[in-house]
Structure 1
């Protein structure tokens, strides 16, 4: 069966997350239903990561197996037609080898979290950012984040429902920048690792917000990490500000994708 890699973008707000649910809308379900319009049978789409309720995808990667030998461009176009009106788009589709796997072949995941700092409620950015009313000390958050870089036991920043076999992960990068957004000042958190635990990004960002607001000192991030106790975690921020931006592969099928 020919295998195809899909570069997927979606608005996470109307979905219960990536993973197909029996009685709830999901991104996986929307794509599998669209595939069934092209080849009437049950389909199974595998993603690089299972995003939670409300979490968005800019560069999610998935793969599917087809009966027919499709032209990748035409397969992507046909899927986009049948995905309407769901807020899901196949940005690119590429043919890959039978042993290429969206999840297990991946060597890196990249996330962005958008935090809007303003007192007025968000309107045009509703569902796209996490708003806090106070300004944040970006330098203090950078100092706190530095304690998390490298190989650590991230039990504190792991959901109690996480199914990963080990809480030990290597955090490659946490880059924090302040930007002028259309709705006001935003703080962007860029996180990069081979893989992440369930709720790890949201737990880290929520704890760093405590540092930025002055509730915690930067060293408290180190103390929380070393506690290896979920109770030591700060706020777990909502999923609406979180975006899966990209997935890295040794032989990336989308390496030459220009973003069209």
Structure 2
């Protein structure tokens, strides 16, 4: 059941929801009010565009009520968004204490609103939310890496991980960098756009995290480990049928950056027709 409900006292029958529905299943009844016929309910992609576009706050769907949505009037200015993007930094030095639970919960709730291919929304976030568990994971990850090194089963292109292992044993963790937290985005293999969905989600997470004064860094080292040492996914409990293309480390940044960098150079290609 879609629970598609129209408050007829509020609805002015403007038809915006009818016109904007991506799959075209909203129609008008004999009185001009929006309606979705029962046989078309299965076509709904649950995007909630109809809820968002209603100027009269007269439409509810999927049990979601307009008064519970964040109003568009709360949008940041273009300058504020620009400042967030320009000042985002990859954080490689973290404070030792955990990020507050409510902050992590807020990060996940907001990230869950990111777009996904075909609006499938099949992402799973595997998260380590406390330093004690992070320390255990790091220890297990390096143990698995050491086993690969001892067996001589590291692929040639990843032989440099043996050096990273030595650095870890000498007290310098270049892979996990002493971060208190880790998040991995994964999605079922096959249909849709699982890899792209994961990258988009982590990008949303990263930007929102920075607005909350939580630092992040993209963990390419772990992404490669997923490739040549897939058993590490089992350690994290990532479903076997999921793609998990990337991960982020996050935590409170040890250092502050009083300004952004200057990277306005770019390459452009214009097709000729």
TM range (shorter): under 0.3
More strand by share: 1
The normalised TM-score by structure 2 is: 0.24
Higher relative contact order (CA 8 A, sep 6+): 1
Task: Give TM-score scaled by structure 1 length.
Answer: 0.25
Structure with bigger helix share is 2
